[in-house]
Amino acid sequence: MNNTLIVGLTGGIGSGKTAASDYLASKGITVVDADVVAREVVEPGQPALLAIEQRYGPEVLLTDGTLNRSWLREKVFAQVDERHWLEQQTHPRIREAIIQQLTAATSSYALLVSPLLFESGQAQLTQRTLLIDVPEQTQVQRAANRDQNNEEQIRRIIAAQMPREDKRAQADDIVDNSQDLSHLYHQLDKLHQQYLKHSNQKKSS
């Protein structure tokens, strides 16, 4: 990878990762979104989608041949072994694509956005980690309003991810996003300046 500073940004469902990364992107920072990459590696014709279809049969596909995400989500979050199998198919391919995109970044520093930054080992690709943090009840309320998922489904997703306190212990920087966007942006402005400074030091060393 090149000498660009890589900042890993993470947070649970409904925490506001996208609001944070969009704000930093507006400042000219390259954003590599692991969720976007994850969708790309299971597009029609990709090896991961072929493996998924072989395991689960045609019902895992929509009529246009794309992945039926809601069907697969129900399957893997209900069965730990199936989730592990799916991760074995997708995580190495996602990691390879992420590295390629980070290597191509030309901004002062680059942002790797990943809900599974710590769980997947993607934090190893970064030099600094930033957690967007909110209380669990706030996660549930925001995710339910945004995705129209039921509360039970959202809590299953939260339970399948690293506990909030563990993420807080591992993160280098923590932003509280329990208030409004101006409060979020104020904290991000300070960190943005710190990351620019870190980046200049890294490139001059």
pLDDT at residue 17, rounded to an integer: 95
Helix (H) or strand (E) holding 9: strand 5-10
> What is the 3 state secondary structure string of 168-185?
HHHCCEEEECCCCHHHHH
Q: Are 143 and 13 in contact (CB under 8 A)?
A: yes
pLDDT at residue 1, rounded to an integer: 59
pLDDT at residue 63, rounded to an integer: 95
pLDDT at residue 153, rounded to an integer: 85
pLDDT at residue 78, rounded to an integer: 83
pLDDT at residue 61, rounded to an integer: 96
Q: Per-block average pLDDT, block size 10, for the chain (205 residues)?
A: 88 93 97 94 95 96 95 89 92 92 95 92 95 93 81 87 94 96 97 95 77
pLDDT at residue 203, rounded to an integer: 76
Domain 5-200 has CATH 3.30.365.10: no
In angstroms, the Cα distances linking 80 to 34, 57, 164 are 21, 19, 20
